[in-house]
């Protein structure tokens, strides 16, 4: 008698080799992505960290976060190399009784990026409000009211297509519609454009809103809309049908059922998903470069004469600032500091928004269980 | 055009051959989901203040018919009524003059899967009233107690009225849904397999409750459970493939059905 051979101890077939190769490739692809992401983040964090952080108290470059961009003047004075921002430079000249002081100037390289932070935050808040309102309304209509048919299918297709439109096209769309065409109520007849009298000596002049917050809000909102609508529909679908049926069976109108027994439970999901999409959209430069962003603006957004002017002012914004500093100005060591510092701050803000929405979602999810 | 208030509809216009007046009268009803016909010429007269059970294998149309009575089928885009009428209190409920909201207040419904709202027990009961604009606290308190007593749930929950309805057991949740339905004082309660997700003890409680309720309400119950139909209904209708095969007093259906198909189904030969 001989010991039975192990029936499982056979030569590995070629299909096992193929499997190993295939999984190896998948694994390599995954690690490659991870490596790229780590490199990008690491690079920006290291380079930007030099600008944003300080080795001594208060460890953060406070002026960079709280001041407006200024022109940097670099000059030699009594054998010492000096780097001063615009205001300091003038003060320096005055203190030393100098009329002329030859210096190299570098635009945007001194001061900070406070107006850009404020502008980006304003753009995010406004576009989020608009996108949420339009998107949630459309989602409610599509998933709760509309009858399924060719029209709704067409609308859905249009929404999906909207999601695939390049951001620069949104920028041009915003330029064409909001910046140069949308009507404004004015007290004079503008013969250059379509001008409709509305009585009391006022005219609706289709001369556009110009480059301003309002134009930027709508452009960004339209860009975020597809995701907001799709995410809102998902949230609505996640609310059990029984809540609607239960309310309707008690004699609620459809709107009552939705308002009291669907929306409250869908809204957290809608808001958190929408914040995520806005965080993504807020990072876009193309949609705002034609519609809302200024290269430089001395006044802060709240320094307006008339409250309504608030909506009709352009703002500085972080992504556009990065674009301007890194491609519209001569490159040198000084602009590089601003580039990476701005990118760093921007990344932190976007990540902060995303993180907030994720934490919010986790909290809200645990609150509603059925 | 003012939709007639269902509360002021004349009570029971037609009389059936039974001792009780007819509450729901279905007259050769055809019903379609898209092209597929789900109900074929159903005619049935459901007596008032009795329990009528709909039995039959899955897909036989019993739930569809039930959902015609409060027009819940309106929610299904592709659903449509072909021929025929459904009359409640003698009124054709699919007539354009009928306000579906008022109809649903008259015809309450309890669903297969208990669906308390994720609100407090108290708010679950008052929901039907609050959407009518009734916010008087005293009135609401009164209705809550009355409805919960009516659904035999008061003693179990009176100390935690303001805790979530989802914290109740499955059987309690279903009775909460019944309490919620009777809070708006309907005349008919439709029950769509109300016990299919409940354990035997919870089931028997709901069945006891049905016996209590039938004195006040017309109850139509869809059930897969033959014993349940036998235990708690006065009349039983057997459906098969979208047709009403037989409708008679429950004792007769279970002891001496006149149709072969009914007998086969009840004795478990199919279905």
CB B237, CB B55: distance < 8 Å = yes
Task: Check B117 against A246: CB less than 8 A apart.
Answer: yes
Closest CB to A246 among B105, B115, B132 = B115
* Domain range list for chain B: 12-113+187-266
Contact in structure between A301 and A287 (CB atoms under 8 Å): no
Identify the pLDDT of residue B18: 47
Determine what percent of chain B is predicted with pLDDT higher than 70: 92
Q: Do B128 and A369 touch (CB under 8 A)?
A: no
Contact A260 B104 (CB under 8 A): no
SS (H, E, C) B231-263: HHCCEEEEEECCEEEEEEEHHHHHHCCCCHHHH
pLDDT digits (tens, 9 = 90+) for A112-128: 889 899 999 999 889 98
- CA of A148 vs chain B CAs: smallest distance (Å): 7
A364 pLDDT exceeds 80?
A: no
How much of chain A, in percent, has pLDDT values that exceed 90? 27
Q: Which residues does chain B have within 8 Å of residue A368's beta carbon, measured at their own beta carbons?
A: 118
**Set of chain A residues whose Cβ sits within 8 Å of the Cβ of B117:** 243, 246-247, 261
Residue A334 near residue A72, CB atoms below 8 Å: yes
When pLDDT is averaged across residues B222-229 and rounded to a whole number, the result is 89
Q: Which of B105, B115, B177 sits opposite A251 (nearest CB)?
A: B105
A329-342 burial, b at 16+ Cβ within 10 Å, e below that, comes to: beeeebbbbbbbbb
Residue to test with chain A: of B3, B6, B117, B184, most A Cβ within 10 A: B117
Q: If DSSP codes are grouped into helix, strand and coil, which group holds residue A272?
A: helix
Pairing of strands B91-92, B36-47: unpaired
Nearest to B115 among A245, A251, A256 (CB): A245
Cβ contacts of B105 on chain A, cutoff 8 Å? 250-251
Q: Give the pair of three-digit tokens for residue A193.
A: 């454009």
Give contacts of A 209-248 with B, CB under 8 A.
240, 242-248
Angle between helical axes of A114-140 and A213-238 (0-180°, round to 10): 40
- Contact: A243, B111; criterion CB under 8 Å: no
Interface test with A, best of B6, B71, B104, B133 (most A CBs within 10 A): B104
Residue B198 to residue B204: CA distance in whole angstroms: 9
Looking up tokens 């189904």 gives B265
The yes-or-no verdict on residue B7 having pLDDT over 70 is no
Quote the DSSP letter at residue A309. Answer: G
Cβ contacts of B118 on chain A, cutoff 8 Å: 243, 265, 368-370
Average pLDDT over residues B191-220: 89
Helix (H, G, I), strand (E, B) or coil at B37: strand
CB B223 within 8 A of CB B193: yes
Tell me the Ramachandran region of residue A70: left when phi exceeds 0, alpha when psi lies from -120 to 50, beta otherwise.
Answer: beta
The strand pairing partners of B256, in sequence order, are none
Per-residue tokens: A322: 């990065």
pLDDT at B196: 86
Question: Which of B75, B131, B166 is the closest to A251 by Cβ?
Answer: B131
pLDDT beyond 90 at B51: yes
Please list the residues that pair with B249 across neighbouring strands.
B235
Please tell me the distance from the alpha carbon of residue B74 to that of residue A244, in angstroms, as a whole number. 13
By the 8 A CB rule, do A357 and A276 touch? yes
Are the beta carbons of B181 and A240 separated by less than 8 Å?
Answer: no
Would the pLDDT of A270 be above 90? no
Cβ atoms of B23 and B46 closer than 8 Å: yes
pLDDT above 90 (res B45)? yes
Q: What is the spatial distance between Cα B232 and Cα B20, in angstroms, rounded to a whole number?
A: 17
Q: Between A72 and B191, where is the model more confident? A: B191
Average pLDDT over all residues of chain A: 86
> CB-CB: which of B108, B127, B132 is closest to A247?
B127
Cα(first)–Cα(last) distance of chain B, in Å?
Answer: 47
Summarised one tens digit per residue, pLDDT across range B206-225 is 899 999 898 899 999 999 88
- pLDDT on residue B9: 41
Q: Higher-confidence residue: B95 or A368?
A: B95
Mean pLDDT of chain B: 87
Q: Of the candidates A128, A14, A249, which has an alpha carbon nearest to the alpha carbon of residue B67?
A: A249
Query: Looking at domain A114-326, what is its CATH homologous superfamily?
Result: MetI-like (1.10.3720.10)
Is A201 touching B (CB cutoff 8 A)? no
**H-helix or E-strand spanning residue A190:** none
Taking only the tens place, the pLDDT of each residue in A126-156 is 998 999 999 999 999 998 888 878 888 999 8
Q: Domain extents for chain A?
A: 69-111, 114-326
pLDDT digits 0-9 by tens, B68-113: 999 998 888 888 888 899 999 989 999 889 999 999 999 999 999 8
Model confidence band, residue B13 (pLDDT cutoffs 50, 70, 90) = very low
Closest-CA distance of chain B to residue A251, Å: 5
Q: Is the pLDDT of residue A301 over 90?
A: no
The rounded distance, in Å, linking the Cα atoms of B119 and A69 is 53
Closest CB to A249 among B102, B104, B118 = B104
Question: Closest approach of chain A CAs to the CA of B99, in angstroms?
Answer: 10
**Is a pLDDT exceeding 70 seen at residue B228?**
yes
Contacts of A268 in chain B (CB under 8 A): none
Summarize the confidence of residues B109-128 as an average pLDDT.
92
Q: What fold is seen in the domain B12-113+187-266?
A: Rossmann fold (3.40.50)
pLDDT score recorded for residue B17: 44
Interchain contact, B184 vs A251, CB within 8 Å: yes
- Which residues of chain B make contact with A369, given a CB cutoff of 8 A? 118, 166
Q: Which two tokens stand for residue A257?
A: 């059922």
Cβ pair B180:A246 closer than 8 A = yes
- Chain B residue with Cα closest to A253: B101
The pLDDT confidence band at residue B15, using thresholds 50, 70 and 90, is: very low
Contact A345, A318 (CB under 8 A): yes
The listed range with the strongest mean pLDDT (A29-43, B5-19, B56-70, B83-97) is A29-43
Of chain B, the percentage scoring pLDDT greater than 90 comes to: 54
pLDDT of residue A90: 83
**Mean pLDDT (whole number) for A348-362:** 85
Q: Which chain A residues have a beta carbon less than 8 Å from that of B191?
A: none
């Amino acid at each position: 008698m001989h010991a039975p051979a192990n029936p499982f101890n056979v030569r590995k077939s070629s299909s096992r080799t193929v499997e190993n190769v295939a999984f190896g490739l998948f694994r390599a692809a995954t690690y490659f992505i991870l490596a790229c992401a780590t490199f990008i983040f690491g690079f920006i964090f290291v380079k930007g960290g030099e600008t944003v952080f300080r080795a001594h108290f208060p460890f953060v470059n406070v002026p960079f976060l709280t001041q407006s961009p200024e022109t940097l003047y670099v000059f030699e004075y009594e054998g010492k190399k000096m780097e001063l921002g615009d205001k300091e430079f003038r003060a320096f000249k005055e203190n030393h009784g100098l009329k002329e002081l030859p210096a190299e100037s570098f635009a945007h390289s001194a001061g900070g990026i406070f107006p850009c932070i404020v502008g980006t935050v304003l753009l995010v808040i406004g576009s989020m409000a608009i996108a949420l309102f339009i998107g949630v309304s459309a989602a409610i209509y599509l998933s709760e009211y509309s009858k399924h048919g060719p029209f709704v299918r067409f609308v859905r297709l249009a929404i999906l297509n909207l999601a695939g439109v390049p951001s620069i096209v949104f920028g041009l769309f915003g330029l064409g519609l909001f910046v140069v065409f949308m009507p404004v109520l004015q007290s004079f007849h503008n013969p250059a454009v379509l001008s409709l009298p509305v009585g009391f000596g006022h005219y609706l002049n289709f001369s556009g809103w110009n480059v301003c917050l309002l134009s930027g809000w709508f452009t960004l909102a339209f860009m975020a809309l597809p995701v907001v609508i799709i995410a809102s529909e998902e949230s609505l679908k996640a609310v059990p049908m029984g809540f609607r049926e239960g309310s309707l069976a008690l004699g609620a109108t459809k709107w009552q059922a939705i308002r009291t027994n669907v929306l409250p439970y869908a809204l957290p999901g809608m808001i958190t998903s929408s914040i995520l999409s806005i965080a993504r959209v807020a990072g876009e430069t193309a949609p705002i470069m034609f519609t809302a962003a200024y290269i430089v603006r001395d006044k802060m957004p709240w320094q307006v004469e008339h409250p309504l002017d608030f909506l009709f002012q352009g703002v500085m914004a972080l992504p556009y600032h990065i674009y301007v500093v890194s491609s519209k100005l001569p490159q040198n060591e000084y602009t590089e500091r601003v580039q990476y510092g701005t990118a760093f701050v921007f990344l932190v803000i976007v990540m902060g928004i995303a993180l907030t929405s994720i934490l919010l979602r986790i909290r809200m999810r645990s609150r509603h269980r059925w | 055009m003012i939709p007639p208030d269902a509360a002021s509809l004349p009570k029971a216009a037609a009389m059936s051959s039974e001792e009780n007046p007819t509450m729901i009268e279905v007259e050769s009803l055809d019903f379609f989901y898209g092209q597929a016909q789900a109900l074929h010429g159903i005619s049935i007269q459901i007596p008032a203040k009795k329990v009528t059970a709909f039995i039959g294998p899955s897909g036989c149309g019993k739930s569809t018919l039930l959902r015609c009575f409060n027009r819940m089928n309106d929610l299904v885009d592709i659903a449509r009524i072909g021929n025929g009428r459904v009359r409640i209190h003698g009124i054709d409920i699919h007539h354009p003059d009928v306000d579906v909201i008022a109809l649903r207040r008259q015809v309450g419904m309890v669903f297969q899967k208990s669906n308390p709202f994720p609100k407090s027990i108290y708010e679950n009961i008052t929901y039907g009233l609050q959407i009518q604009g009734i916010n008087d606290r005293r009135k609401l308190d009164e209705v809550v107690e009355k409805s919960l007593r009516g659904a035999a749930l008061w003693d179990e929950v009176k100390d935690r009225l303001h805790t979530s309805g989802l914290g109740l057991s499955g059987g309690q949740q279903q009775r909460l849904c019944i309490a919620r339905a009777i809070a708006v004082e309907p005349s008919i309660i439709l029950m769509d397999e109300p016990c299919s997700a409940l354990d035997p003890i919870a089931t028997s409680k709901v069945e006891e409750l049905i016996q209590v309720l039938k004195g006040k309400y017309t109850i139509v119950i869809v059930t897969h459970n033959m014993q349940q139909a036998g235990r708690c209904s006065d009349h039983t209708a057997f459906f098969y493939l979208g047709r009403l095969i037989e409708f008679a007093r429950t004792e007769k259906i279970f002891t001496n059905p006149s149709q072969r198909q009914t007998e086969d189904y009840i004795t478990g030969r199919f279905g």
